[in-house]
Structure 1
Amino acid sequence: MSDLYTRFVANVLFPVQERLKHHDTVAIRQEMEDVQWWPRERILEKQAQRLKAFLADIGAHTPYYRELFARTGFDPKTVTGPADLQNLPFLTKAVIKQNSDGLRADDAKGLARFNTGGSSGEPLIFFIGTERVTHDVAAKWRATRWWDVDIGDPEIVIWGSPIELGTQDRVRLIRDKLMRTELLPAFEMSDAKVEGFIARIREMRPKMLFGYPSAISHIAAHAEKKGIRLDDLGIKVVFVTSERLYDHQREVISRLFKAPVANGYGGRDAGFIAHACPSGSMHITAEDIVVEIIDSDGNVLPPGQSGEIVVTHLATRDYPFVRYRTGDVGVLSDHACPCGRGLPILSEIQGRSTDFVIAADGTVMHGLSLIYVLRDIPGVASFKIVQETKALTTVFVIPGAAFEPGDVGRIESGLKRRLGESVAIDVKLVDEIPAEKSGKFRYVISRVAA
């Protein structure tokens, strides 16, 4: 049950803020909370209607799509559902770069410039309109409420994005204080910094945490190492996003904080795609987002098969994202969720395409196959694996107290068994492994195209 101040923030303060921004977030969230309980067939009918209207809109107002539809003979009036998207080409980072101006609607409102961090090696500059922001906030708000917490409940955000950290001006600080949310920057995770984070979490006693799974699990593991309790704070849920959530991270977070871990999947480019419900399903925000899964040849795959996640965001008419290739790999499900929500389910999010490595014989495997080699060695405190080429993989290792001279050989032999005996494994013992520029931490990076 929310306290009085939380109800004031959720029902008065936050709605006033959104109205001042000319956002209809509250109405959209209320509609989403109704729609989520519809039967899946009814939700997909609504999605199909929105898709048809969206394509007609961008065909009329976006130069790139106006020209594309004319050149290919694509008629939005004939659209009956997501299958018709297969008549359109994919939107890639390269296409966006080449058509940055042409993708702006001629009547776009409130466009703001954004960029991805380029962790895949391909940073992207794009624009987001007011409608997209409003719908994404509403979708996140709905998913937050699934866990018996709400806007206004005390929250600590452990984040590293330069956008969030660069806007900590006086107005933002006052707003965050009123909303009872506090940002802890995840750029530097030294022992001293982490101990400061732990002290602040214990002092604030938030109802929820939000941030990168790598950062939050690191904080939890450090607290366990120091014998500091985090399970007596009353934290109700830990929201994680922006990275793959590994099983060992979920375990240490949930055990140390004595709270469930709610995974969220999305990106600044693709939008708020899916979020976990308390029953464990990753529900797609189907009112706004169409998800396709494709194979390496671009063919759409049925539920249950793994492939690249392609997204069409129906609230991006000001700067459209249609059949946008995310570079992520996942699986759709056609099963119903025990929670009763009719929203479609993304049953697996297997990581970015760059999280997959290629053995010397051409076999493609998930980076987890290499991660397990390092995790099985007690003396390895932290690590990062970089597949430079099919013939060379570099491993950065921070040795722990139990590290033994023979562990380097164990790492080399373990990785050779998976990648091939001809592959050179360069193990570098280091004192620190820097995170990405965004503050994220990736265990495996492959520079070899799958």
Structure 2
Amino acid sequence: MSSLYTRLVSGLIFPLHERLKHHDTVAVRRRLEDSQWWSRDRLAQLQARRLRELLQHARAHVPYYRDLFARTGFDPDAVTRVEDLQRLPFLGKPEIRANTEALKADDAQGLARFNTGGSSGEPLIFFIGNGRVTHDVAAKWRATRWWGVDIGDPEIVVWGSPIELTAQDRVRAIRDKLLRTELLPAFEMSGARLDGFVARIRERRPKMLFGYPSALSHIGLHAEQRGIRMDDLGIEVAFCTSERLYDHQREAIERIFGCPVANGYGSRDAGFIAHQCPSGSMHVTAEDVIVEIVDGEGRVLPPGQAGEIVVTHLATGDFPFIRYRTGDVAVMGAKSCACGRGLPVLEEIQGRATDFVVARDGTVMHGLALIYILRDLPQVAGFKIIQESLDRTRVQVVPAAGFDAGTTQRIQHGLAARLGEGVGIEVETVSAIPPEKSGKHRYVVSRVAVPGAPCAT
């Protein structure tokens, strides 16, 4: 049973907040809570209609797709089913980098610029409009309510975004206080910082946790090593996202915090793609997202076969993501979920792990603490960080225009400030960052054992 304050936030304060941002989030969430029970055939009909509308808008307003459709003879008016997408080429990060301006709709308003390092460490600049934000927030809100918690319930977020005392962040702090959500920065995890995190969680007594599975499990294991109980706080659920959730992490979080773990899959570029329901299935947000699983030749695979996840987000008319290659691998499930929802199911999602790194003094930090130093440098086209030992870290850099000795010094000073003075930071310029043997890219690789972490198998 939600508290009176939670009902006030969910029913009034948060909807007002969204309305002031020109987001129609409440209405979208209500539609999603209805459509989740539709049959797969009915959902497919909704997808086909919204896909046709997206493609028609792209032809009329997006230069990149206007030219592509003309060049290939593709007619959006003839789209009657999702499978018609297969007549279009894929959209990858190289295409977005080469056509960023041409991918903007000429009628777009309020586009927000985003910059993500991606799995290869190569910065990707793209734009998101209000429609996409509205639908992603609504989808996340719907999934939150699957677990009996709601916006306004006390929440602890363990995340990697740096906290800066700007005017915007002060406004955000007021908003978070009203919504009863609190951020714990995942950058640094020294013993003292972890003690503080554990104490704050115990004091806060949140109903839900949200964050990287590696960070939540690390905090939990630290509490366990200190002999501090965390399963008596009334935590209802731990939402994990942004990384691959490993079995040992799920087990540790559930055991130590005394709550179920709800896995989530998505990214800032591809959107909110899937979330786990209490019956255990990873449901695709099918009303907003079309997921294709393709093989190495680009052929769409049937359920039960592993391949790359390709996403078409139906609420991205301002900057369309149509057949966007995520680089992640998964299997589309063939069976319906026992929960009764008609939403399709993703299985065996892979490839979203971000390593921890260890500073010279033993401080454990999330790999994003180093990534943020490089990914927003315009002089860096790509990078990979390899922590060889506590005393030596190598950085492979694909230089862009303006890269010089000063850029090298900024990288060295930035990483040394995190890893510790005296650590050797070697910056090596390369023409390209090769993938791992698996074919996947990793932007941080640490060869230093993290205290308390399980051995790799």
Instruction: Report if TM-score (shorter chain) is over 0.5.
Output: yes
Shift of 1:115: 1.2
The whole-number CA distance in structure 2 between the counterparts of 1:124 and 1:161 is 17
User: What is the aligned partner in structure 2 of residue 83 from structure 1?
Assistant: 83
User: What is the aligned partner in structure 1 of residue 270 from structure 2?
Assistant: 270
User: What is the aligned partner in structure 2 of residue 141 from structure 1?
Assistant: 141
- Secondary structure, in 3 states, of the residue corresponding to 2:188? coil
Shift of 1:123: 1.9
- Secondary structure, in 3 states, of the residue corresponding to 2:189? coil
Q: Is the 8 A contact 2:215 2:366 kept in 1?
A: no
Q: Deviations over 1:28-76 (max 9, x none)?
A: 0000000001111111111111111111111111000001000100001
The whole-number CA distance in structure 1 between the counterparts of 2:287 and 2:89 is 22
The whole-number CA distance in structure 2 between the counterparts of 1:233 and 1:93 is 43
**Structure 2 gap ranges (5+):** 356-363, 368-385, 391-417, 421-433, 440-457
C-alpha spacing 1:149/1:62, structure 2 compared with 1 (3 Å)? same
User: What is the aligned partner in structure 1 of residue 61 from structure 2?
Assistant: 61
Q: Deviations over 1:262-302 (max 9, x none)?
A: 00100000000000000000000000000001111111111
Shift of 1:229: 0.4
Shift of 1:161: 2.7
User: What is the aligned partner in structure 1 of residue 208 from structure 2?
Assistant: 208
User: What is the aligned partner in structure 2 of residue 47 from structure 1?
Assistant: 47
> What residue identity is the alignment partner of 1:205?
R
C-alpha spacing 1:297/1:433, structure 2 compared with 1 (3 Å)? farther
The whole-number CA distance in structure 2 between the counterparts of 1:160 and 1:344 is 30
- Secondary structure, in 3 states, of the residue corresponding to 1:151? coil
- Secondary structure, in 3 states, of the residue corresponding to 1:46? helix
The whole-number CA distance in structure 1 between the counterparts of 2:237 and 2:419 is 29
The whole-number CA distance in structure 1 between the counterparts of 2:164 and 2:365 is 27
Counterparts of residues 117-266 of structure 1 (less than 5 Å): 117-162=117-162, 169-266=169-266
- Secondary structure, in 3 states, of the residue corresponding to 1:102? coil
Q: Is the 8 A contact 1:383 1:395 kept in 2?
A: no
C-alpha spacing 1:278/1:396, structure 2 compared with 1 (3 Å)? farther
User: What is the aligned partner in structure 1 of residue 429 from structure 2?
Assistant: none
Shift of 1:126: 0.3
> What residue identity is the alignment partner of 1:215?
A
The whole-number CA distance in structure 2 between the counterparts of 1:67 and 1:61 is 11
> What residue identity is the alignment partner of 2:252?
V
The whole-number CA distance in structure 2 between the counterparts of 1:128 and 1:383 is 26
Q: Deviations over 1:152-194 (max 9, x none)?
A: 0000100003499978622111111000000000011111111
Shift of 1:395: 8.2
> What residue identity is the alignment partner of 1:32?
L
> What residue identity is the alignment partner of 2:33?
E
The whole-number CA distance in structure 1 between the counterparts of 2:271 and 2:164 is 16
Matched, 1:12 2:12: yes
The whole-number CA distance in structure 1 between the counterparts of 2:73 and 2:281 is 39
Number of residue pairs matched by the alignment: 374
User: What is the aligned partner in structure 1 of residue 311 from structure 2?
Assistant: 311
Q: Deviations over 1:70-124 (max 9, x none)?
A: 0100001111222111111110110000001000001001100001133422221
The whole-number CA distance in structure 2 between the counterparts of 1:212 and 1:168 is 24
Shift of 1:447: 3.8
C-alpha spacing 1:397/1:222, structure 2 compared with 1 (3 Å)? farther
- Secondary structure, in 3 states, of the residue corresponding to 1:31? helix
Counterparts of residues 335-350 of structure 1 (less than 5 Å): 335-350=335-350
The whole-number CA distance in structure 1 between the counterparts of 2:298 and 2:141 is 33
The whole-number CA distance in structure 2 between the counterparts of 1:15 and 1:351 is 35
Q: Deviations over 1:115-137 (max 9, x none)?
A: 11334222211000010000000
- Secondary structure, in 3 states, of the residue corresponding to 2:235? coil
Counterparts of residues 364-379 of structure 1 (less than 5 Å): none
Q: Is the 8 A contact 1:382 1:397 kept in 2?
A: no
The whole-number CA distance in structure 2 between the counterparts of 1:102 and 1:148 is 43
The whole-number CA distance in structure 1 between the counterparts of 2:133 and 2:186 is 24
- Secondary structure, in 3 states, of the residue corresponding to 1:13? helix
The whole-number CA distance in structure 2 between the counterparts of 1:163 and 1:111 is 23
> What residue identity is the alignment partner of 2:198?
I
C-alpha spacing 1:168/1:12, structure 2 compared with 1 (3 Å)? same
**Structure 1 gap ranges (5+):** 356-366, 368-380, 385-393, 399-431, 435-444
The whole-number CA distance in structure 1 between the counterparts of 2:26 and 2:167 is 24
The whole-number CA distance in structure 1 between the counterparts of 2:167 and 2:197 is 20
Moved more, 169-178 or 7-16: 169-178
% identical equivalent positions: 69
User: What is the aligned partner in structure 2 of residue 409 from structure 1?
Assistant: none
Q: Is the 8 A contact 1:294 1:301 kept in 2?
A: yes
